[in-house]
């Protein structure tokens, strides 16, 4: 298979009038190569210690086989599959659905979907969204996949309780458990206990795989498989990327090169905002998945007191009319990673209807895909001419195999980047305080409500009139 190609030319000094990296620094013997070697050593120690469980997922044939069996079993009984999860428990499923299924999957006919179920991902306890979902689906024909490794995620547990009550209202008591599947820790947690007590089927999330690294576990594989995505191909692509990213040579290890260049862009070139700009609607959700992966893994205070980079998702050509003005003339604090994909086998030709109208004539006979790729190349060049660095990642066809490789590329790069920054990319201490305060405000036993300062009404501005 053809793995993604990382083009670093437009971040290097020869291509930019100012502010580029000296390519010699990335060569064997260069200081960035040596710096990465230290990060690679940290990576290998953590791999040996069993901390990097996501690297093993592409080779876990037992779990993949179990997922395929469960997907086939449930897929033929239900019209709708509803994933209840948040963060990494939801973003990965959405990214897979948008990238690998036909557009507007849930609105397509049964024939187009080949009688696979519709896939809904509820990743936020917004009552308006949840109410609308239950207006659209029949709980008697729906499977609810509850994803929480700990079984204590407040948002997911609340959604589960709502779904459980809705199902219980329309089916016999002994049938309720057949509408649920838990994806959780293999040994402990509230969902595991409940599943064992009630006979609810489960799929495991390995203990050494964190939520944002879990898309290639049961977390993402089950929603994908139930809709007919070839998970064997997905895992094969990821496995190939694991093998491609083993060495210390930056020129031969794409994840190493991506992590090192983005780290240097932040810490040396003062480019702390890392934009992932995908030139395909089907990769819009992938940019949001990247945003969580990069932000939650690296957004931490380093030993020098500085905080890690800020990821920013974007989609071309849409954001050429929304954000590129800022990229071009705003603060020089951004590096853009352009994500290019080959055509999906579908092209739409632009009709040559007005050959006498200059603003339209040149478009006649061209394809929309050709136009979109020209927009990407033009934006890349415009940034280069303003000495605004960018990287281009050519993802190939973005089919299941290529997409699996793309996922693994970013996951490995994230851990490498953690080593470069000197932070732990696997924890999220900044999230824990908000969780504890939420538990307290909702009245969970053992959590004390915070002392909130008295509100000064002078600074509550606005309100009703008349």
CA distance 351 to 367: 9
Euclidean distance between CA atoms 86 and 428, whole angstroms: 15
Q: Which two tokens stand for residue 160?
A: 């589960």
- Residue 294 CA: distances (Å) to CA of 10, 90, 273, 402, 410: 22, 16, 11, 20, 9
Q: State the Cα–Cα distance between residues 214 and 219, nearest whole angstrom.
A: 6
- Burial call 141-171: b when 16+ CB within 10 Å, e when fewer: ebbbbbbbbbbebebbbebbebbbebbeeee
**Sign of the four-CA dihedral 300, 305, 308, 310:** positive
Grouping H, G, I as helix, E, B as strand and the rest as coil, residue 102 is coil
Is residue 218 within 8 Å of 208, Cβ to Cβ? no
DSSP three-state, residue 119: strand
DSSP H helical segments within 60-109, as ranges? 61-75, 88-100
Partnered with residue 182 across adjacent β-strands are 146, 202
- Known catalytic residues are 296, 321, 435
209: region left, alpha or beta (phi > 0 left; psi from -120 to 50 alpha)? beta
Distances, alpha carbon 327 to alpha carbons 171, 190, 335, 380, 393, in Å = 54, 46, 9, 11, 18
Question: 400-421 and 254-267 are packed helices; what angle lies between their axes, rounded to 10 degrees?
Answer: 40
Distances (CA, A) of 183 to 3, 84, 91, 101, 283: 30, 10, 15, 22, 25
Cα-Cα-Cα-Cα dihedral sign, residues 406, 316, 109, 129: positive
Residue 162's SS3 state is helix
State how far the Cα of 177 lies from the Cα of 213, in Å rounded to an integer: 28
Sheet bearing 310-315, strands edge to edge: 5-7, 390-394, 334-340, 273-278, 310-315
Cis peptide bond upstream of 441, omega within 30: no
């Amino acid at each position: 298979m053809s793995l993604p190609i990382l083009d670093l030319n437009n971040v290097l000094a020869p291509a930019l009038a100012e502010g580029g990296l000296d390519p010699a620094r990335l060569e064997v013997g260069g200081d960035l190569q040596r710096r990465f070697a230290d990060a690679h050593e940290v990576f290998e120690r953590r791999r040996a210690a069993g901390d990097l469980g996501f690297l093993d997922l592409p080779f876990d044939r037992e779990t993949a086989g179990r997922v395929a069996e469960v997907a086939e079993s449930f897929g033929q009984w239900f019209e709708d599959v509803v994933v209840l999860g948040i963060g990494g428990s939801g973003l990965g499923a959405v990214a897979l659905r948008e990238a690998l299924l036909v557009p507007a999957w849930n609105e397509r006919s049964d024939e187009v979907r080949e009688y696979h179920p519709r896939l809904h991902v509820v990743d936020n306890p917004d009552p308006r969204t949840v109410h609308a979902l239950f207006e659209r689906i029949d709980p008697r024909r729906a499977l609810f996949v509850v994803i929480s490794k700990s079984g204590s995620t407040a948002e997911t547990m609340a959604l589960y309780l709502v779904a459980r009550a809705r199902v219980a209202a329309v089916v016999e008591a002994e049938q309720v458990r057949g509408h649920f599947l838990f994806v959780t820790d293999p040994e402990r947690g509230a969902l595991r206990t409940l599943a064992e007590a009630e006979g609810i089927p489960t799929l495991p999330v390995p203990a050494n795989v964190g939520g944002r690294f879990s898309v290639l576990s049961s977390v993402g594989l089950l929603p994908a498989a139930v809709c007919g995505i070839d998970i064997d191909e997905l895992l094969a692509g990821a496995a190939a990327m694991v093998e491609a990213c083993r060495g210390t040579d930056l020129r031969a290890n794409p994840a190493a090169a991506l992590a090192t260049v983005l780290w240097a862009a932040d810490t040396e070139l003062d480019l702390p905002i890392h934009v992932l700009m995908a030139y395909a609607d089907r990769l819009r959700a992938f940019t949001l998945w990247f945003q969580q992966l990069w932000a939650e893994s690296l957004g931490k205070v380093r030993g020098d007191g500085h905080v890690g980079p800020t990821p920013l998702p974007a989609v071309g050509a849409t954001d050429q009319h929304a954000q590129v003005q800022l990229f071009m003339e705003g603060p020089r604090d951004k590096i853009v990673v352009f994500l290019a994909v080959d055509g999906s086998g579908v092209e739409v030709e632009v009709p040559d209807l007005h050959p006498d109208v200059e603003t339209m004539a040149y478009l006649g006979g061209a394809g929309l895909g050709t136009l979109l790729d020209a927009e990407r190349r033009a934006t890349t060049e415009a940034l280069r001419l303003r000495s605004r660095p960018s990287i281009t990642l050519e993802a190939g066809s973005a089919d299941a195999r290529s997409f699996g490789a793309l996922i693994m590329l970013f996951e490995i790069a994230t851990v490498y980047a953690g080593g470069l920054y000197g932070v732990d990319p696997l924890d999220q201490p900044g999230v824990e305080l908000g969780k504890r305060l939420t538990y307290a405000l909702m009245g969970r036993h053992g959590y004390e409500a915070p002392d909130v300062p008295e509100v000064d009404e002078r600074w509550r501005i606005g309100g009703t009139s008349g």
